[in-house]
Amino acid sequence: MTPEKADLILKNTTIVTQNSRREILNNGALAVVGGRIAALGPTQEILKGYSAEEVLDLTDQIVFPGLINNHNHLFQVSTKGLGEDMPVQDWVEVVTAPTAIHIQPEEMYTFCLAGCLEAIHCGVTTIVDMSYRAQRYEMHENNIRAMLDSGLRGRYTTIISDFGVEFGVLPELISPIDWFIEQYMRLHTQYPATDRMAVWLAIGAPWTITDEGLKETIAYANSTRTPITMHINENGVDNQISMDRHGMNMVPYLETVGFLRPDLLAIHNVVTDPADIDLYAKYDVKLSYNPVSNMYLGSGIPPMIDMYKAGLKIGIGTDGAGSNNSLDMMESMKVAALLQKVAARDASVVDAQTILDWATCDAARSIWLEEEIGSLEVGKRADLFAVALNSSKVVPVHDPVASLIYSCGEQNVVLTIADGKILMKDGIIQHLDEKAILEQCQISATLLSDRCGSNSKVTRRWRPGRLK
């Protein structure tokens, strides 16, 4: 029997499938055809059935499904090192908002691409990005172009805001609701949804939109069947303002206007009480857990275990680099576990397997892509990464999943493949000039911070070299 032709074969490796039985294959192989997994099984069996020009021997490596970072603000890569250790209001008004207002289209491309590079280094293959209001339409295009050029699977959103000056939203980030709907109509025409890229709706927070704006956003979402994502209850502000504006807490208010729905991705949910959890469960709302950001901004600890027990679908996000200082999903997975353990004062409250689920198969459910990604199974997209077991940070390995969550760092990720395409091999980005992109990122970030004043509260004891 002649073997079938595959585009790529991975062999001699341990494969953590994340299938429904959570099987782990020893000495496994995987054949990729047309961006999908065509076969998966023992190496000898796969090599009998398939041949390929590119065969990677992954001895002493472990393969996992590609990680899904389900909340991010890529442009905030430019603010690494500018916003830490300051009150959240300064963080918004001095650092992130001025950056969003003054960023130029080419800078947008560079920062977003640099962010995607870090994602690839972490084994991330899917990213949900939330951009702020675009000062020019080109901003959308360059943000999306960076995501496409990176080779990652992406979901792009841009924040709708028609309200909120009294709560600190800068006027440049606000427009009438119709302006945003027009932007979205244009985006949806220009970028029809594909497996690789789709445009979703985003609202920054419930207090940055009028009741009318919220209703129009819901109507547009319903008519176009577009998912919505929003920061909800990141801290106590949402409930305070909702109590003033609507006489009830935020999540119950959102139910009254028909905002709670299965295709809502609710981000943060730090201040979430049992009544909120019941409502989320009633409407099958999806969740994004951003532990590093919640700690970085001093926001608090979201009750993820209660929400998990209520059957809610949870994914993990890094949030933007502005409230993290990196986009390191490996770090976020570990912190995701540790934060819940310390909240419960019980190390057994969440295990490594559950955290990996939140970053892979459950995360896929949180963004409605479970048919395509989130596990390594025949027919699914070939989105995966491998870690090497040759580092003192990792050795010895007794359980691949525990090693990934608690021992590995992004430096241990050696291979990243999205949609069957090798984005990184032997730790080296294959399709982009990483060095040049990072040099441009440094130059652009320094110039932008000078220009918009986002470094005005930072005592600078050092200037980067090679700047004009």
Give me the residues that bind Zn ion (CB under 5 A), please: 319
Nearer to Zn ion, 74 or 422 (CB): 74
Alpha-carbon distance of 386 to 13, in angstroms, equals: 9
Nearest approach in angstroms of CB 291 to Zn ion is 13
Nearer to Zn ion, 174 or 327 (CB): 327
Neighbouring C-beta atoms of residue 365, cutoff 10 Å:
19
Nearer to Zn ion, 319 or 410 (CB): 319
Nearest approach in angstroms of CB 273 to Zn ion is 21
Nearest approach in angstroms of CB 335 to Zn ion is 16
The structure tokens listed for 188 are: 């949806």
Alpha-carbon distance of 416 to 428, in angstroms, equals: 10
Nearer to Zn ion, 43 or 70 (CB): 70
Alpha-carbon distance of 334 to 278, in angstroms, equals: 28
Nearest approach in angstroms of CB 319 to Zn ion is 4
Cis, peptide link before residue 396, omega less than 30° from 0: yes
Nearer to Zn ion, 64 or 132 (CB): 132
Nearer to Zn ion, 30 or 134 (CB): 134
Alpha-carbon distance of 404 to 87, in angstroms, equals: 33
Task: Dihedral sign for Cα 432, 436, 437, 438, please.
Answer: positive
Nearest approach in angstroms of CB 290 to Zn ion is 7
85 burial type by CB count under 10 A (0-12 exposed, 13-18 middle, 19+ buried): exposed
Nearest approach in angstroms of CB 454 to Zn ion is 17
Nearer to Zn ion, 15 or 292 (CB): 292
Nearest approach in angstroms of CB 332 to Zn ion is 13
Nearer to Zn ion, 9 or 92 (CB): 92
Only one residue has tokens 């890529």, namely 74
DSSP string, 196-246: SEEEEEEES-GGGS-HHHHHHHHHHHHHHT--EEEEE-SSTHHHHHHHHHH
Question: Which amino acid, one-letter code, is at 231?
Answer: H
Residues 315-334 as b/e (b if ≥16 CB within 10 A, e otherwise) read: bbbbbbbbbbbbbbbbbbbb
Nearest approach in angstroms of CB 316 to Zn ion is 13
Pairing of strands 61-65, 8-16: parallel
Nearest approach in angstroms of CB 100 to Zn ion is 12
User: 373: Cβ–Cβ under 8 A, 6 or more apart, which residues?
Assistant: 65, 66, 68, 125, 126, 153, 364, 380, 381, 383
**Closest to 311 measured CA to CA, from 334, 277, 350:** 277
Nearest approach in angstroms of CB 84 to Zn ion is 16
Nearest approach in angstroms of CB 60 to Zn ion is 37
Nearest approach in angstroms of CB 203 to Zn ion is 12
Alpha-carbon distance of 115 to 437, in angstroms, equals: 10
**Closest to 121 measured CA to CA, from 441, 418, 452, 456:** 418
Nearer to Zn ion, 319 or 328 (CB): 319
User: Is residue 302 within 8 Å of 269, Cβ to Cβ?
Assistant: yes
Helix (H) or strand (E) segment spanning residue 354: helix 352-359
Nearer to Zn ion, 319 or 419 (CB): 319
Nearer to Zn ion, 14 or 70 (CB): 70
Only one residue has tokens 């021997």, namely 57
User: Is residue 142 within 8 Å of 109, Cβ to Cβ?
Assistant: yes
Nearer to Zn ion, 61 or 288 (CB): 288
What residue is closest to Zn ion based on CB?
319
281 burial type by CB count under 10 A (0-12 exposed, 13-18 middle, 19+ buried): middle
